[in-house]
Amino acid sequence: MKIAFVSTRGIPNNYGGLEEFAENVSTRLVKRGFEVIVYNPHFHPYSSSDFEGVTIKKIFSPERQIGSGANFMYDYLSLKDAIREACDVILICGYTTAAVSLLLLNPKKSNIITNIDGLEWKRSKHSLLVQHLTRWFEKIAVKRSAEVISDNIGIQEYVTKNYNRDSYFIPYAAEVFSDFDEQLLSSLGLIKNEYFLLIGRLEPENNIEMILDGIAEARDDTPVHIFASIENKYAKYLINKFKSHSRIKFRGWLGGQRKLASLRKGAKIYFHGHSVGGTNPSLLEAMAAGAFIAAHDNIFNKYVLKENALYFSSSNEVKELVETLNTDLSKRNDFTKNNLKQIHDFYTWDNITSMYENLFKAQLLKRSNGIPVSENHRNNSQVNDLEVKEQ
């Protein structure tokens, strides 16, 4: 069976969560006997046409010249090539810039499976026009894909409610972290359990301002360190707003999974403010690092963390959380133990790969039985059958 991964920034991963997913699942599928193609933009630094058995095809993308709008061209050219390659299944990793290609190419004979990867149209960084267009893209992707993947039960419920179709729940995964680097903390001027931590893109929907407002107002001396790119407009706004607060420290981006895991594990509290995604990869990474997590109170985070986190939904709740934290520290061991168990038992790359393998085989069987790939299947047992291990 030949599988194509389109609409990522390529592998090996040097960008983010979708690329980490594509690298881990594609390489495991090859080991299980699949033929796999991953499409990379032409400027990706990896130069070989093979990565651990995965075929790498580079596609022209003028992203560095014209910005993110180039991804519409890149996705179109990638999808067109995957159709020409006669792939048995084409997996679209995030619909935003690929949906238009489903209209232009109208690939009725291809098995298109789309992982919608969160509610992109809800991101407040977008103008009203872009939000409207993005929601239209979402509709195209859901309606024109043979199957839809939801990476969170909350996203699955959203798809059912808004589009009257079922989707397959397949989340992301993470590697359990066991190599804590306390020397890294020292090199950054940090002491274990004596700092709060934020890691992630500085965007409004990640509730960074809410978290920092609460910390700034709290009667507590613990500093908060923010490791994130500080180049965008919103980041500059935050830096200016909190410049008089000496406990709020913007440190810039720090790469490397071992470094980030060590920072998360060493933090007194790891704040996770994401609110419009599904199962956020950075949240799984925090769980896998044994971080003590305070998360924004929304259905996506709660479906993942369940009762094993502190929750907040306003700056005042962040303030109260910080000021009463000493009474909650007794929960740390239970929370981190339970979160690590979830990663070990369910959110593993082998388990997630098995779920994709089952889906691909089921999809190919449908086509061999003459079932149209555009048919809207509503069989909940299919979804349940894919959950290889109980969550």
* Residue 304 lies in domain: 182-345
Residue 391 lies in a domain: no
Q: Say whether both 295 and 237 belong to one domain.
A: yes
pLDDT digits (tens, 9 = 90+) for 235-278: 999 999 999 999 999 999 998 888 999 999 999 999 999 988 78
Chain centroid to Cα 294, Å, comes to: 18
Among 266, 260, 354, 357, smallest CA distance to 3 is for 357
- Regarding whether 326 and 364 lie in a shared domain, the answer is no
User: What is the count of structural domains for the chain?
Assistant: 2
In a domain, 285, yes or no: yes
236 shares its domain with 308: yes
Do residues 136 and 279 share a domain? no
Domain co-membership, 209 together with 319? yes
Instruction: Please tell me whether residues 116 and 196 are part of one structural domain.
Output: no
Looking at the fold, whether 46 and 193 belong to one and the same domain comes out as no
- 40, 125: one domain: yes
Residues 197 and 139 in one domain: no
268 and 371 assigned to the same domain: no
Distance CA(234)–CA(231), nearest Å, equals 8
We report the CATH number of the domain holding residue 316 as 3.40.50.2000
Structural domain contains residue 200? yes
Say what the pLDDT of residue 131 is. 79
* DSSP output for 243-301: TT-TTEEE------HHHHHHHHHH-SEEEE---SSSS-HHHHHHHHTT--EEEE-SHHH
Residue 95 lies in a domain: yes
pLDDT one-digit tens code per residue, 270-319: 999 998 878 999 999 999 999 999 999 999 999 999 999 999 999 999 99
Q: What's the mean pLDDT in 333-356?
A: 97
pLDDT for the residue numbered 121: 55
> What pLDDT, on a 0 to 100 scale, did the predictor assign at position 375?
43
Give the number of C-alpha atoms closer than 13 A to the C-alpha of residue 383, restricted to the C-beta side. Answer: 21
Give the whole-number percent of the chain exceeding pLDDT 70. Answer: 91
Q: Do 15 and 149 fall within a single domain?
A: yes
Strand-pair partners of 295: 272, 311
Predicted local confidence at residue 157, as pLDDT: 93
**Would you state the structure tokens that stand for residue 159, as one six-digit string?**
């798809």
pLDDT at res. 64 = 85
**Percentage of residues in the chain with pLDDT exceeding 90?**
70
Q: What is the mean pLDDT of residues 99-115?
A: 84
Q: Residues 159, 10: one domain?
A: yes
Please list the residues that pair with 225 across neighbouring strands.
197, 249
Classify residue 14: in a domain, yes or no: yes
